Structure 1
Amino acid sequence: MNTATETRAVIVEREIAHPPEKIWRALTQPHLIAEWLMKNDFAAVKGHAFTLSGDWGSVDCRVLELEPNKALSYTWDAMGLESVVTWTLTPKGAGTHLRMEQKGFRPDQQQAFQGAQYGWQKFFGNLEQVLGRD
């Protein structure tokens, strides 16, 4: 295996006590995305280019795939990192198994990898707060 092209992924999985439809709204409605992730101009349209803006800078993204209430995938390019974020929603009992995978971290991107591990845990916490409000 060529180590120069070997990449790593950050994966976060949670059981969330809300139906997939409710989580899907939080993943795809710009005003809700802004509450748990970052300011954005997201649209749930394949091929749509959008930007996520945080205090530290911005992320250039493009919607790759979307299957309502089941899966969402988009590019996540920031500060030299070219990666893909994929959300998978699987109904489980009265709730949902939510899986997020961000793949594409090169071996020399240790700082970005560690930052993403920390960041996604925080974002998931924010997401659960948003979901728990109504």
Structure 2
Amino acid sequence: MTAQLQTVLDGDTDIILRRDFAHPPAKVWRALTEPPLIRQWMAVEGHPMTRCDFDPRAGGTFHFEWQGPEGNGFFFSGPILEVRAPHHITHIEHFNGDPAMSARITTDLAPQGTGTRMTMVMRYENAEARAAAIATGMTDGMDEVYAKLDGLKID
């Protein structure tokens, strides 16, 4: 089981994330798509989550927003393109509403023993967009929040 987040740069445009969770796919799906559960694991210290909207259906949208320690904030938002619950979702993620800082995110959840293997592919328009996203520190803290997700009590 891969409890730590594995991050791989693939080609010029992709970031591939992999992590195993103790929960079965249906529970990981709920943690990834239900706002009350998202709020429990996605906030990090010093950055409280101030908005969490998620409509997990093709044609739906999402908006996640955080407050920064100096009053500065940031958000991710965009359309949901494809959903096959509880195993697959594809969406477009805009950072602070900037189309130049957008990625197509495909998340797949597969059974792994009694748990789940998550594979997420973040595809940017070009190498420069991927480099800019990495430079924002967007992967910092991901291991922390996914550890919180893994520790959630999900009924």
Counterparts of 2:122 and 2:137 in 1: how far apart (Å)?
Answer: 8
Answering whether residue 79 of structure 2 is matched by residue 62 of structure 1, we say yes
Counterparts of 1:42 and 1:96 in 2: how far apart (Å)?
Answer: 22
Secondary structure at 1:27 match in 2 = helix
Q: Which consecutive residues of structure 1, in runs of 5 or more, have no partner in the other structure? A: 1-5
> Structure 1 pair 126/26, CA: closer, same or farther in 2 (3 Å)?
same
Counterparts of 1:116 and 1:8 in 2: how far apart (Å)?
Answer: 17
Quote the sequence identity (%): 25
Figure out how many residues of one structure are paired with residues of the other and give that number: 127
Contact 2:21/2:150, CA 8 A, preserved across alignment: no
TM-score, with length taken from structure 2: 0.71
Choose which of 15, 19, 44 in structure 1 pairs with 2:20: 15
Counterparts of 2:37 and 2:21 in 1: how far apart (Å)?
Answer: 17
Choose which of 39, 46, 51 in structure 1 pairs with 2:58: 46
Counterparts of 2:57 and 2:12 in 1: how far apart (Å)?
Answer: 28
Q: Which consecutive residues of structure 2, in runs of 5 or more, have no partner in the other structure? A: 1-10, 43-48, 68-72
Answering whether residue 137 of structure 2 is matched by residue 132 of structure 1, we say no
Contact 2:61/2:77, CA 8 A, preserved across alignment: yes
Correspondence for 2:101: 81
Answering whether residue 111 of structure 2 is matched by residue 111 of structure 1, we say no
Contact 1:20/1:95, CA 8 A, preserved across alignment: yes
Secondary structure at 1:112 match in 2 = helix
Counterparts of 2:150 and 2:61 in 1: how far apart (Å)?
Answer: 25
**Aligned structure 1 segments of 4 or more residues deviating by more than 3 angstroms:** 114-117
Deviations 1:14-43 (A, max 9, x none): 122210011000011011222333532101
